Amino acid sequence: MIDDELHPEALSIIKDIRIAENSGERIPMYNMNHMEARASYLAMRSALSPPAPKILKSINIKIPVENQKISARYYRGINKDEKELLPLTIFFHGGGWVIGDLDTHDVVCRQLANEGQFDVLAIDYRMGPEYRFPTAIDDAINSINWVNKNPLDLPIMNNKIAVCGDSAGGNIAAVCCINSKINAEPKIKFQALIYPSTHLGSNYKSKEKYDGYILSKLLMKWFEEKYINKNQLNDWRAAPILFEDLSNLPNTLIVVAGCDPLRDEGIAYGEELKKAGNKVEIKIFEGQIHGFLTMGARISDTNKLIKLVSEKITNSF
């Protein structure tokens, strides 16, 4: 481990985790079952996130998928007009396709809705091990198609849609953009991918170098086993970097944390998008760790990240 590369605020969190694990107060997620891990992840997000900011309103809604419905949460930011039609950012939470939900990223979605000139819709896609690959992807695609039809008459401009996600959610957002390109609809104007997983099952150098900084090889293996079969790892919906033609995709912001096992594959995906002729900005938050988007109570760079994503999405419309 290379602690001296970490931002002091990030290192403080890493040290707290090590102390808790060494004392037995905290059990690593890969030694839990998925239900225990979900509860642990929610507790950790709650401890590391700032208080939820006030917004104009949030509404819990249901989106039909297959023969059931999934949950979603619609946000309108403070100081917005209740009836004004606004663009929409569809948000997919991180958590390795196994953990995470609307509540783990509620503060982030509120911050984005307040900061940007758009509404936010967070999607509670189904996860492994109960629903394995590609269910999460299918739910996300169905959600975007549902938004495009806007059956609830939300005050949104369904011709101005962006997607955003962190980690596994970044993977889902990237795949949705490729899918929309394949099907020529619905049109997605922008994608903001925050330390995204772009090459599941790969072994980039950063996975070795930063092993154990929030993400570890053991934890990533635990996620993969619960989400996807080994013979599916080369499916582009698991690894969008493998898609044969990455041209004509939306303008893109890729954010990576400097000390993140997923750093290299996020940068690699951005470079592949550039080679294919897309407009891409890659932003590296040096010294930061995986998951810092939801650590705003302890990490000052989180506010800079929220402002950056909000600004880039707002300007894309």
Residues marked as catalytic: 167, 260, 290
Backbone angles phi, psi at 123, to 5 degrees: -110, 125
Tokens of 131: 């629903």
Return d(Cα 130, Cα 227) in angstroms, integer: 9
Backbone angles phi, psi at 158, to 5 degrees: -75, 0
CB-based contact 288:10 (threshold 8 Å): yes
Q: Give every CB contact of residue 19 below 8 A, 6+ residues apart in sequence.
A: none
Return d(Cα 195, Cα 85) in angstroms, integer: 30
Backbone angles phi, psi at 261, to 5 degrees: -55, -30
The distance from CA 164 to its chain's CA centroid, rounded to whole angstroms, is 6
Cβ–Cβ contacts within 10 Å for residue 225, how many?
Answer: 14
Tokens of 240: 């969008």
Return d(Cα 219, Cα 211) in angstroms, integer: 10
Return d(Cα 148, Cα 159) in angstroms, integer: 7
Count of residues for the chain?
317
Nearest to 288 by CA among 215, 204, 201, 224: 215
Nearest to 236 by CA among 161, 176, 164, 277: 176
